[in-house]
A = this chain, B = another copy of it.
C-alpha cells in the first residue's frame, strides 16, 4: 500500500514513466521507502488495472518507446484516503541487534568491531543526509508548507541516525569498561 501511495504521489505531481519514477525514488524517498525497478513496473501495471492510473505509449525515435502514466480521479481520491490513514509504527528489522543478542560467544574486542563497523555505516548515511544535494531536494517543494514538510522528513533521518550513533558509542564504552 505504501509503495502505491509513494508512486501515486509522484505521478500526481507530474505524469511519468516507470523509469522516471525509479529515479525519483532513488533521489528522494529511497531512505524511508526504497523500491527496485521490478517492483515499480509490476505495481504500475497493477494500479492501471485498478483504474488508479491510465497509460499512454509515447513513441520515441532516439530512445526506446515509453509508457507515461497519469493519475485518474479515482487515483486522486485513493491518494487522499491513504494519506489520512491512521499512522502505524514502522516495523523494525534490525539485524545487528539480532547478532548482538547472541554475540556473547565472541571476544569483547570482536563485539566492539561489529559496533564500530556499524557506526561507520551510520556515519556514511549521515554524510549523505547532510550533503548539499539532499538539502536542496527539500527546497523543490511546491509550497512553503511542503518545503517545511520535506525538510522535516530529512530531519527525521538525521535525528534517527544520530541517536543510533550515540547509542553505538555508549555501548562500545560500556563494553570497554566491562
Q: Interface majority SS on A: helix, strand, loop or mixed?
A: helix
Among A42-50, A52-60, A92-100, the one that faces the other chain is: A92-100
Assembled-state Cα–Cα distance A80/B96 (Å): 14
**Is A121 a contact of B87 with CB atoms below 8 Å?**
yes
Assembled-state Cα–Cα distance A108/B142 (Å): 16
In the complex, chain B residues whose CB is within 8 Å of the CB of A79:
102, 105
The quantity of this chain's copies bound in the complex is 2
Interface size on A, residues (CB 8 A): 73
**Is B156 a contact of A97 with CB atoms below 8 Å?**
yes
**Is A149 a contact of B100 with CB atoms below 8 Å?**
yes
CB-based closest 7 A-B pairs: A163-B163, A9-B102, A32-B94, A104-B146, A87-B118, A32-B97, A87-B96
**Could you tell me which A residues sit within 8 Å of B by CB distance?**
1-2, 5-6, 8-9, 12, 29, 31-34, 79-80, 82-106, 108, 110-111, 114, 117-118, 121-122, 125, 141-146, 148-150, 152-153, 155-156, 159-160, 162-164, 166-167, 170-171, 174-175, 178
